[in-house]
Amino acid sequence: MTQDEAHLSPAQRPKNGLSQGMKSLIVLGVLGSASAIAGLVMAGRPTSPILQTAEAATPLPLAARLVSAIDMTDAPAPLIKADGKLKRNETLTGLVTRLGAPAGEANAALQAVYSKDLIDHRRLRPGLEAETFVSDGHLTALSIKADAGRSLLVTRTLEGGWQATELNAKLTPSYKRVEAEIDGSIYNAALKLGADDQQVVDFASAFAYDIDFQREIHPGDRFEIFFETFVDERGTPVRNGEVLYAALDGKALKRGFYRYTPSDDGVADYFDEKGESATKFLMKTPINGARISSSFGTRRHPISGYTRLHKGTDFAAPTGTPVYAAGSGTVQRASWNGGYGNFIKIRHTRGYDTAYAHLSRYAKGLKPGMKVRQGEVIGYVGSTGASTGPHLHYEVYVDGKPVNAMSLKLPTGRKLAEDPAMLAEFTSYKDSIDVLRRGGNGPMAQLARAEVAVSP
C-alpha cells in the first residue's frame, strides 16, 4: 500500500489487495538474467517502460510467467503457456490463434508490433518462433523471436491496449574459417562446416564474374570462406555476418578476394591481393541455376529448320526463374519483338548492349528509359515467341556486333593500384585479415578481442 492509501479504511482500500501504485505490468520469470527483467518491472506508472536491450534476449521462453497486476485476485486463474513455429503459408495471426489466443486479441497484439515496424509480416519465414501466455481465456502476453539476437515482447497496457517491446541481445563479434575439398557442391560442404546460406551466396557473388558454378566446378577443387560470427554472453553462436575473405583453388580458376570498403567512396566490394575488384563490367551469366541448352554459333534452327548464326546463349530454366541485368545501364526496349517474344534490350557504356528474350513477363515497373543496376531483376524466364520450351536467350553486342558472351574478356572494375593511398590502406587491411585467417593476434583481432575458430 502507498502512503496516500494508508489513511483509508479497509473498505476504502482496493478490494483486490493491491494498491493503485501497483496497477502496472509485473513480469515474473527469467529472460536469461535478473537484470533483464528489472527494466520491465515498474510500479506507480500508468504505462510500462520500453526496454531497448537485454543481456540475453534470444532464447525462448522470454519469461516463465507474465501476469497483469490488474487481473490478479486472491485465486488467480492459471497461466497457460504455449509455444510453436510458423508453418508454411501460415500468417502470424494464424500461429498466435493456434497457440490458444482469441483471434481478436491476437490481431490487436500484433498490430502493436506492426505499427512500430518491428517486423514485416510480408516477409515472414516458416520456422519463426512465438510464445503465448493465456489466462482465463484471454491473451496476457506474447513473445516473438523476430531475428537472431532480437525478440519482441507484447504486453497489455493499463488502458487495455497493447504495447510492443524490442529486446536486443548483446552480441560479441568473432570469426570463423571453413575450408574443404569440393565433393558434390560448395553449398553442401560449406553448410556442413558451419556457414549459412548467406555466406555461400556472398562467396558466389565474389566469383560470379569469373566462373560458371554449374559448369566450371570440379571434384577435388578447394574453397575457403572466412566470415564474421556473433556470440551471446554464454558464448553460444547467434548468427553469422559478412564474408571477409573468399578463395577458390580449382582447375578453372585459382583466386582469392577480400571484402573491403575504400574510405574514399564507401562502396564495399571484393578485391584480389593486388587490389583489383572482382566486379566486372558484365556478369558472365544473368541467371542462376540454369544449364546451357544452346551455345553461340552457327546452328540449325529447331523451328524454322534453316541453318544460321545463333547470336546468343540459351539457358534452360523453369518458367518464372528471375533474370538479372548483366550490367548497369539504360533500358532501350521492353516489349514484344516477333520471334524473340517478350524482349528486353539494355544499353551499357563502352559500346556494349545486352538482350534478353522469350521472357514470361517483365519486372514490375520496367520500361524504356529507366536505369537498371547490375544484378537487378528485370524479368522472368518464359517460352514466348518462337520457342520450344522455357529458357532465356541472352545476347551481347559490342559496337553493334553480336559476340559470344561465354568467352568474352570483359573490362574489370576498380583498381586500387591507381591510387597509392587507397592501395596502402587496402594492403594494411588485407594483412590484418590474413593474420586472423591464420589464427593470429593482429590489430583487428585485438580490436575485436576474438579468437579465430578453424574448421578442419
- Give kind and range of the element (H or E) at residue 442: none
Percent helix, strand, coil in the chain, to 5, is 20, 35, 45
From CA 43, how far away is CA 62, in angstroms rounded?
Answer: 21
Q: Does domain 172-280+415-454 have CATH number 3.30.365.10?
A: no
Mean pLDDT of 377-400: 92
Q: Which amino acid is at 87?
A: K
Which residues of the chain are in CATH 3.10.450.350 domains?
3-168, 172-280+415-454
pLDDT at position 169: 73
Average per-residue pLDDT for the chain: 77
Whether residue 237 is predicted with pLDDT greater than 60 in this model: the reply is yes
Per CATH, the homologous superfamily of domain 291-403 is Glucose Permease (Domain IIA) (2.70.70.10)
At 154-172, the pLDDT tens digits run 998 888 899 998 887 777 8
At 256-299, the pLDDT tens digits run 999 999 888 777 889 999 999 988 888 878 887 666 766 655 64
From CA 434, how far away is CA 292, in angstroms rounded?
Answer: 37
pLDDT at position 263: 86
pLDDT at position 372: 92
At 416-433, the pLDDT tens digits run 998 999 999 999 999 999
Provide the grid cell at 362. Answer: 517483365
**Most confident of the following: 98-102, 194-198, 227-231:** 98-102
Whether residue 360 is predicted with pLDDT greater than 90 in this model: the reply is yes
Q: Does domain 3-168 have CATH number 3.20.20.120?
A: no
Burial of 345-367, coded b for 16+ CB within 10 Å and e otherwise, reads: bbebeeebbbbbbbbbebbeebe
Which residues of the chain are in CATH 2.70.70.10 domains?
291-403
